[in-house]
Structure 1
């Protein structure tokens, strides 16, 4: 029976996928098979995986081999090993962009480059959050900022985490998975430096006001204003960081 020929693009994509697959080592292939199986079975953040023994049986490999595959996924940030409890999913397994967990302390120039990357991405994400978000999106952002307001006089680490949660939420609510994951990876790299910025900025109230201004624009359905408020906020952050770096 004749079959309808596939479009050229489909043939190219299929061929590239098979070719890439043949270049995988046995360990790489097992890791890929494992993550594919977990996705098919609907595992998500917070879910506990079957035991190492059960997974080894499922994939017909030795326990140390499956443990190596799990460790690879842990290194990429997808899994958490909890002593005495098991292995849990940490990040959505569909995520295609991940940060380097071993990047260490960032070079000053790289730190400024990261902020510049945020300046290119985040205003657009704020704009998309207006267009694609709804009442639930606004409620989530409001909840995060309410918690941040309650932490203005608290520990730096708590407030820093909430500030980053606000930016992560906007990225997620934009509806663009690739840009959202890109932002998430940038913020993962940036988390330690955010603590320094919070201390150098030394104006928690101003930071809170600028976040509220972004939220007000999103709530008001004004995408251009949301983008502009985000741009002004990040420009201020960059100025503070650059001044700190020059002083050293």
Structure 2
């Protein structure tokens, strides 16, 4: 299916660019090759390059400067402690994001079940299959792209242009949140079964089950982050005192 092929090419492009960044051949602050240079080197389209840059930006490796291009922002993976700190420092944005997701995504599932074409459901099945493969290989980039594709494809199936537009704005603004959360193995692993249940409800055209499973999925992702912060804090008393109580209050207030 074309959507899956596009994701695969994007994944490979991200991996290539990421390897270039962490290789040590370029430094923080250096400018990446231009879109056209990357297109020529990898024999890919400009849209694929832009998607790959967007993923790298979400992962924190790249910073975009208006009118100048993409620049290297970091050259190493995030330490788990730094990820938790990021969630605390951005608690307002995280709260906003999860609250909006709770409003939009269950509605998206409801409309998708009512309106999705057989082709769209088949494409969603393939996206989920790719997510499973990424999970087996612990490929963070593929997990990130396929998770976003799964949720995005559901909203697309609603055939509601305003909802699709709003969802895209949310994805753009909170891309870093998704990338941070998926670097934590337990959180990405716990997304697999909820995705399967949501997909199953869509295939059966069961609106009640679909809405319920999506709500559980969102709440589960909040609880996973809270649980991970607690486990990490137990082994780091400073982190516990400084970060966990605040993160706990923020995330617990979101769980229904």
Q: TM-score, with normalisation over the residues of structure 1?
A: 0.56
Aligned equivalent of 1:128? 111
Aligned equivalent of 1:189? 173
Structure 1 residue 170 corresponds to structure 2 residue 158: no
Shift of 1:159: 0.7
Structure 1 residue 213 corresponds to structure 2 residue 165: no
Structure 1 residue 156 corresponds to structure 2 residue 140: yes
Q: TM-score, with normalisation over the residues of structure 2?
A: 0.54
Distance 2:171 2:116 in 1: 21
Aligned equivalent of 1:82? 35
Shift of 1:139: 0.3
Aligned equivalent of 1:112? 95
Shift of 1:242: 4.8
Aligned equivalent of 1:10? none
Residues 66-89 of structure 1: per-residue CA shift (max 9 Å, x gap):
xxxxxxxxxxxxxxx733679967
Distance 2:212 2:36 in 1: 46
Shift of 1:163: 0.6
Shift of 1:197: 1.5
Distance 1:89 1:197 in 2: 25
The structure number with the bigger radius of gyration is 1
- Paired residues, number: 158
Shift of 1:149: 0.8
Contiguous gaps of at least 5 residues in structure 1: 1-80, 92-100
CA 1:88–1:201 in 2, change beyond 3 Å: closer, same or farther? closer
Residues 135-163 of structure 1: per-residue CA shift (max 9 Å, x gap):
11210110101111111123212111111
Which deviates more from structure 2 when the two are superposed, residues 142-151 or residues 235-244?
235-244
CA 1:233–1:151 in 2, change beyond 3 Å: closer, same or farther? same
Distance 1:89 1:149 in 2: 25
Asked whether the 8 Å contact 1:141–1:166 carries over to 2, the reply is: yes
Measured on the aligned residues, the alpha-carbon RMSD in Å equals 2.9
Distance 1:228 1:201 in 2: 25
Distance 1:160 1:201 in 2: 12
Aligned equivalent of 1:224? 208
Match of 1:138 among 117, 121, 129: 121
Contiguous gaps of at least 5 residues in structure 2: 1-33, 51-63, 66-85, 230-242, 248-256
Distance 2:132 2:203 in 1: 18
- Greater share of residues in helix: 2
